[in-house]
Amino acid sequence: MPTTRLRIPMRARPIDEPHRASSPLELLFDLTFVVAVAAVTAELAHSIAAGHAEVLGFLQVFFAIWWAWMNFTWFASSYDTDDLPYRLLTMVQMAGVLVLAAGVPAAAATGDYRTVLIGYLIMRAGLLLQWLRAAYEDRVRRRTALRYAVGIVTTQVGWALALVFADLALPYFIALVMLELAVPLWAEWRHPATNWHPHHIAERYGLFVIILLGESVLAASRGVEAAVTAHAVDSSFVLVAGAGLVLLFALWWLYFLHPAGEGLSERRAYSYHWGYGHYFLFAALAALGAGLEVAVEHTAQNIGYAVALPVAVFLAMVWLVHAQIINLPVMRREYTLISVVIVLALPLVLSTVGVVVGCAAVVVLLVAVVLSQPGHRQA
């Protein structure tokens, strides 16, 4: 028998709902972001290989990807009804992600962000309708939901103007980003807060980390394929490919050492710092995939910082985001600082091959040090 009801009243879900986990719809939604992240990572890799890394364009497009994913995730944690209207509006947002992904090559090649903007507007339109529904059906948090809706409409007008005039100048982009980031703070200021579930949110962020690590594996495999096709397989290639896999595995291990669900449950007021800080953490993982792809394919090319810089940012952000919500972060500040300094120094003295191997060694050693600490427990 079908288990999906045509319509379920949209009410705030309990913050202590037992056994709350990602739904099949959320997992399907994430798959569309696999396409978007793969597109932006591939374009960054191409620019690195060409000798002019388009970091700014990468960060701009990645913001659209991350912000759309994050807003859907926190809304779903509070109001997921999984009924027919909810599923259809989620599908609209998924369509927007695919349109955005289709526009990434043009944005990277010519700076034409029109298709990316159209995809972003579609995604946000779907979320706007979700908030309006929440405002209509959840009387307790009606003003909060309406504030979210007003904030989305306001920012949508700004992005639409950029689309109409075909101009997304950096100062204008930064202003709109600041406005976007302010919407949740304004919407929940002095009003009943949304009932997001801390363990559900922690799981959702962890799943996105896995998606990004998977994209890095995919990017590196593209480099392997290109090197094999070009008959460029040698000892350096094997060393970079192997060290790259070890590096990604160690980064995965390091992230999941932190019990984020418990920390978010105890310190809900710090959720903005934790959630917003993940932009840099997520972007670093995506950029690392691009760096590894080029490093594997072109072992002789000097692109050490394309690997070292994302690793350093990731290490710093893992400590920073969790230091806000956990009394005793599993990574001590001094260990993190030493690791970041060493990683950033590697490209100054080593080739690309040495940088990849060195980064892997540093992160593996950091994981080993954390695991050896007295009283440590796996999250």
Is residue 1 predicted with pLDDT exceeding 90? Answer: no
Does residue 182 sit in the same domain as residue 276? no
Q: What is the pLDDT of residue 373?
A: 78
What b/e readout covers 220-251, taking b as 16+ CB neighbours within 10 angstroms? bebbbebbeeeeeeeebbeebbebbebbbbbb
Is residue 375 predicted with pLDDT exceeding 80? Answer: no
CA 267 to chain centre: 22
Q: Regarding predicted confidence, which is higher, 238 or 346? A: 346
pTM of the model: 0.92
From CA 239, how far away is CA 7, in angstroms rounded? 55
Does residue 125 sit in the same domain as residue 181? yes
State residue 280 phi and psi, 5-degree precision: -70, -35
Residue 88 burial (CB count, 10 A): 11
Q: Does residue 11 fall inside a structural domain?
A: no
pLDDT digit string, tens, across residues 177-212? 999 999 999 999 877 889 999 999 999 999 999 999
Q: Does residue 243 contact residue 360 with C-beta atoms inside 8 Å?
A: yes
Q: What is the pLDDT of residue 160?
A: 93
Does residue 45 sit in the same domain as residue 88? yes
From CA 210, how far away is CA 30, in angstroms rounded? 11
DSSP 15-72: TT-TT----HHHHHHHHHHHHHHHHHHHHHHHHHHTT---HHHHHHHHHHHHHHHHHH
Q: Does residue 179 contact residue 155 with C-beta atoms inside 8 Å?
A: yes
Q: What is the pLDDT of residue 216?
A: 86
**Total domain count for the chain?**
2
**Confidence class for position 131, pLDDT limits 50, 70, 90:** very high
Report for 225-239, 299-313, 336-350: range of highest mean pLDDT: 336-350
Would you call 228 helix, strand, or coil by DSSP? helix
Location of structure tokens 């290109």: 226
Name the residue type at position 369.
V
Give the end of a domain, one of 160, 187, 214: 187
Q: Which domain does 244 fall in, by range?
A: 198-372
Give the end of a domain, one of 187, 220, 247: 187
Does residue 202 sit in the same domain as residue 323? yes
Does residue 138 sit in the same domain as residue 283? no
Is residue 331 predicted with pLDDT exceeding 90? Answer: no
Is residue 242 predicted with pLDDT exceeding 60? Answer: yes
Q: What is the pLDDT of residue 3?
A: 55
Q: Does residue 19 fall inside a structural domain?
A: no
Q: Does residue 13 fall inside a structural domain?
A: no
Q: What is the pLDDT of residue 163?
A: 87
Helix axes 55-79, 84-110, angle to 10 degrees: 170
Sign of the Cα torsion 319, 67, 179, 145 reads negative
Percentage of the chain beyond pLDDT 90 is 62
pLDDT digit string, tens, across residues 205-233? 999 999 999 988 887 777 677 767 766 66
Say which range, 3-7, 73-77, 109-113, 280-284, has the weakest mean pLDDT: 3-7
For residues 349-374, average pLDDT? 91
Tell me how long the chain is. 379
Does residue 171 sit in the same domain as residue 218? no
Residue 18 burial (CB count, 10 A): 6
Q: Does residue 41 fall inside a structural domain?
A: yes
| Residue closest to 119 by CA, chosen among 30, 215, 36 | 36
Does residue 160 sit in the same domain as residue 39? yes
Does residue 133 sit in the same domain as residue 246? no
Q: What is the pLDDT of residue 376?
A: 57
Sign of the Cα torsion 335, 220, 117, 76 reads negative
Does residue 228 sit in the same domain as residue 100? no
Q: Does residue 378 contact residue 326 with C-beta atoms inside 8 Å?
A: no
Q: Does residue 2 fall inside a structural domain?
A: no
Does residue 149 sit in the same domain as residue 216? no
Q: Which helix (H) or strand (E) holds 91?
A: helix 84-110
From CA 45, how far away is CA 61, in angstroms rounded? 14
Q: Does residue 277 fall inside a structural domain?
A: yes
- Cα-only R_g, the chain: 21
Q: What is the pLDDT of residue 379?
A: 45
Give the end of a domain, one of 168, 187, 206: 187
Residue 113 burial (CB count, 10 A): 25
The CA-CA-CA angle for residues 35, 38, 42, to 5°, reads: 145
Is residue 365 predicted with pLDDT exceeding 90? Answer: yes
Residues sharing a CB contact under 8 Å with residue 88, sequence separation 6 or more, in sequence order? none
Q: Does residue 377 fall inside a structural domain?
A: no
- What one-character DSSP code corresponds to residue 231? T
- What one-character DSSP code corresponds to residue 268? G
From CA 35, how far away is CA 22, in angstroms rounded? 20
| Residue closest to 118 by CA, chosen among 104, 132, 131 | 104
Residues sharing a CB contact under 8 Å with residue 92, sequence separation 6 or more, in sequence order? 122, 123, 125, 126, 129
Q: Does residue 18 fall inside a structural domain?
A: no
Using left for φ > 0, alpha for ψ between -120 and 50, and beta otherwise, residue 275 falls in: alpha
Does residue 258 sit in the same domain as residue 162? no
Q: Regarding predicted confidence, which is higher, 224 or 8? A: 8
Q: Does residue 264 contact residue 202 with C-beta atoms inside 8 Å?
A: yes
From CA 333, how far away is CA 347, in angstroms rounded? 23
Does residue 47 sit in the same domain as residue 136? yes
| Residue closest to 177 by CA, chosen among 34, 279, 54, 283 | 279
